[in-house]
Structure 1
């Protein structure tokens, strides 16, 4: 818990689910606070996104932001099952979290935006693109590619890291066959047969380990999701943050895709793009073997949001 804020447990309705989370509001008075909704990454991400969100939440609270994060559907105290959902369902949950925070006493409804980490970036982009009252959106280590392309990139890096791995191309070809199987609606049984017929190579583990029928169906549903389509529909500023040494995300390709989208002539004039790449940082924008958030990360995040939050009714300008 921040020394400058109080956390309390909250519940609110998502799309046909009840979501549980933690709401932090800065201590003291001085008018209504701007707000941030933190959206977790892939898998069973809870309100803390493992251990990633607490230091970010703490810094935002200390900077004067109300912060809401929540357990993904089917995780922690939230009902439902994320494996049975679509990215549209998850985006509807993020939008519900946004509306819940906007309605809290002491929170400036016009100054609440979305921060999505990894898969949560796709979710935040989808939620923000669907409405015109989001003042800004931050994607943190969010690929600009499809999930299928991102997973292949991550698998290739995993294989390269295994010096003894002899069949890198064969394993990537197997991944491609699995992707095509998912694209044509093949079930988990057929996917398993593909893996078994290839000898269940150990190098596929970073992708295949823990796979079951529900997870296979979820990944197949989302594998061709194109975040560029949502980025193109934004009507608000977008900050895209990356770690330069992120082995899970094709950073250069993602920067290029988001930048090309920002240059489209039909882009909304309010939909500016800012890209921050922190050299040497990993998927969680950490350096020093993942021990600490990259130098300048938190201060840059807060400054960017402050400079794009609408000025309060009193007329006070955002910080320079």
Structure 2
């Protein structure tokens, strides 16, 4: 009788473990955002730069569906949705000087893609397309808005798009090969050249996974330069394993289980987007850079080593390349994946280096002294 009970209990336990394993390794795809069908507020005199209490700086822009966004340009954590009637409520006052304006632009690729273009009042710089990182990402992401603001204030014309399948852009990022996303970026750069033909140079600033595709987008578009922020120089699959391994360690798992748990969670992550990983696991930005070989700047946050990016391995692979034919890079201590300080603003040294590097391309040949 006892043997029968134990046998039955063992069978039930095995079934529970088997069902749990199936559920764990078949997590389902990430959700795509619901299509936005409303007509947003127009970009008019209500949009632009505002001053708040204590001289804080704010950007007000139409939300992608209804109302407006109000972005605190001094703190990325402070962004809110507001009604149209609340745009200029105290203490927010529209600034008398507007260093740039916003405009909507759109593409048919054949998916319909949308973006904002930041147009400086004084254009002393270049044309830049920002490339988004992994997952859902659009113009409401305050990190990207702060980046676009910094670039536009320096005189650069900037396109900040909604990634395909995000915001007001059609398509689906979940199963899309990175070569397609690179093609989206190239299409935006082609539009920027046509829209702003007077600029001296055109290129990309890619963020995280957006940096991964920057060399390929630059090759397709014939860009003059590319920048990758917080981007691994390893294969995408290697980067995923490092990121998951860091999460396992941070979760307090015993050391002897790190390898097993990392492999299990990597498998689970890939099962969420099987076609994406089938197409992209071996995607390596340095391999694509060798096909382009244009000016390429890579910025790492040192503490990203313990978060998203294998910084040390990336630097080792860059160091292994001949000095005369490799990208430039910088490593910034004390910051991680966001390249921001604890007060949620960009590290000044990083921001200064980025703007100085881009300034190289800000004049047409022969136009300077």
Q: Smaller-chain TM-score range?
A: 0.7 to 0.9
Contact 1:262-1:273 within 8 A present in 2 as well: no
Note if contact 1:83-1:218 (Cα within 8 Å) is conserved in structure 2.
yes
* Aligned pairs (5 A) from 1:137-286: 137-165=226-254, 167-175=257-265, 178=267, 207=269, 212=272, 215-246=273-304, 247-261=307-321, 263=323, 267=325, 273-286=327-340
How far off is 1:12 after superposition?
Answer: 1.4
8 Å CA contact 1:136, 1:238 repeated in 2: yes
Do the aligned partners of 1:232 and 1:262 also contact (CA within 8 Å) in 2?
no
Gaps of 5+ in 1: 179-194, 196-206
SS of corresponding position for 1:296:
helix
2:84: which partner in 1? none
User: Once structures 1 and 2 are overlaid, which stretch shifts more, 121-130 or 296-305?
Assistant: 121-130
Q: Tell me how far apart the structure 2 counterparts of residues 123 and 13 of structure 1 sit (CA, whole Å).
A: 20
Deviation at residue 278 of structure 1 after TM alignment: 0.7
**Does the 8 A contact of 2:103 with 2:116 survive in 1?**
yes
Corresponding residue SS for 1:232: helix
Counterpart of 1:4 (choices 86, 99, 104) is 99
Query: 1:76 Cα shift?
Result: 0.9
Over alpha carbons, which structure has the higher Rg? 2
Partner residue, 1:104: 195
The answer to whether the 8 Å contact 1:39/1:115 transfers is yes
The aligned length equals 271
Tell me the residue number matched to 1:182. none
1:163-195 Cα deviation digits (max 9, x unpaired):
25563222123356x3xxxxxxxxxxxxxxxx6
Question: What is the alpha-carbon root mean square deviation over aligned residues?
Answer: 2.3
Give how far 1:102 is off: 1.2
Measured after TM superposition, the shift of residue 291 of structure 1 is 2.1
What is the Cα deviation at residue 100 of structure 1? 0.9
**Structural mapping, 1:125-136, within 5 Å:** 125-130=215-220, 133-136=222-225
TM-score by length of 1: 0.78
Higher relative contact order by CA 8 Å / sep ≥ 6: 1 or 2?
Answer: 1
Deviation at 1:313, TM superposition (A): 6.0
**TM-score normalised over the length of structure 2:** 0.68
Instruction: Return closer, same or farther for 1:219/1:76 CA change in 2, 3 Å cut-off.
Output: same
Query: Any unmatched runs of 5+ in structure 2?
Result: 1-47, 50-97
Tell me the distance in 1 between the aligned counterparts of 2:311 and 2:297: 14
Query: Over residues 204-238 of structure 1, what are the superposed CA-to-partner deviations in whole Å (9 max), with x where a residue is unaligned?
Result: xxx47xx64xx232133211112221122223211
